[in-house]
Amino acid sequence: MAEDLNKKMEPEISDAASEVAKEEASVVEAAEKKAAKAAKEEVKAAKEEAKAAKVEAKAAEAATVAAAAAATAEANKEAAKAAEEAAKAAKKAEEQAAKEAAKQKAAAEKEAEKARIAKEKADAKIEKKRQKKAAQQALIDACPPQYRPVATSTYFWLAFLSAIPVIGVIATLILSFAGRNKNRKNFERAILAYYIIGLILCLVAVLIVGLLLPDSVRESVLLALEQIVNSFKFS
C-alpha cells in the first residue's frame, strides 16, 4: 500500500516540485530583473553623477577661464593705465623740452640780435672815425704846406731838442725863423719866448742879488740858484 500510495503521490509530488521550481525560477527571475533594474538604475545614477561631475568640471573650468579673463582684463586695464600715464609723462616731458628749446632759441636769437646790434654800432663807430679821419686828412691835404698840422711826435722831439743846453737854443733860433711850416715856427717861437723870459728873470735876479741883498743872503741865493740850474741840466 505504501508503494501504491507513493506511486499515487509521485505525480502530485512531481507537480508540486515543478510548481515550487517554477515559483523559485520566477522568484529568481524576478530577483534577477530587480537586480538588473537596480544595476541599470545604478548605471543611470553613475551616468548622472558623471554628467553632473562633468558639468561641475565645465563650470569650474568656465569659472577659472572667467577668473583668468578677469585677471587678464584687470592686468590689461592696469597696463593701459600705466601706458596712458607713461604717454602723458612723455608728452609732458616733450612739451617741457620743446619749451626749453624754444626758450633757449629765443635767448640765442636775442643774444645774436644784441651781438648784431653791437657789431653794427661798433662798425658804425669805426666808420664814423674813419670818415672823420678821412675828412681831417682831406682838410690837411687841402691846406698849403706852410699851414699843415704838426704831429704830436714832432712837437715832442722839438721840445726835446730845445731842452738840450746850447744846441737847443741854436736849434730854436734857426727853426723859429727858417722853418717853412707856420705851426712848427710858432711852437719854436713860443719856446724862444720862454728862453727870453727866463733870461730876463735871470738878469733881474742877478741885479737884485748883486745890488740889493747883503753878502750873506747873496751867497745863499746864489747857491740855491746853482742847485736849481743843476737840477735842470742833462747828465
CB atoms within 10 A of CB 198: 10
d(CA 138, CA 29): 155
**pLDDT value at residue 181:** 84
pLDDT tens digits, 42-87: 777 778 877 877 777 777 777 777 777 777 878 788 888 888 888 8
**pLDDT value at residue 11:** 59
pLDDT tens digits, 80-123: 888 888 888 888 888 888 888 888 988 888 889 899 899 989 99
Task: Please name the residue that has the C-alpha cell 722831439.
Answer: 157
pLDDT tens digits, 132-191: 888 887 887 777 877 788 888 988 998 898 888 888 889 888 888 887 888 888 999 999
**pLDDT above 60: residue 234:** no
**pLDDT above 70: residue 4:** no
**pLDDT value at residue 79:** 83
3-state helix, strand, coil in the chain (%, to 5): 90, 0, 10
How does residue 28 score in pLDDT terms, banded at 50, 70 and 90? Answer: confident
**pLDDT value at residue 197:** 92
d(CA 190, CA 108): 60
Residue type, 99: K
Cα 186 to Cα 11, 146, 174, 183: the distances in Å are 197, 11, 12, 5
**pLDDT above 60: residue 6:** no
**pLDDT above 70: residue 235:** no
Cell of residue 140, nine digits: 690837411
**pLDDT above 50: residue 8:** yes
**pLDDT value at residue 13:** 60
d(CA 70, CA 67): 5
d(CA 110, CA 167): 65
Q: What percent of the chain clears pLDDT 90, i.e. is strictly above it?
A: 7
**pLDDT above 90: residue 2:** no
For residue 103, how far is the Cα from the chain centroid? 10
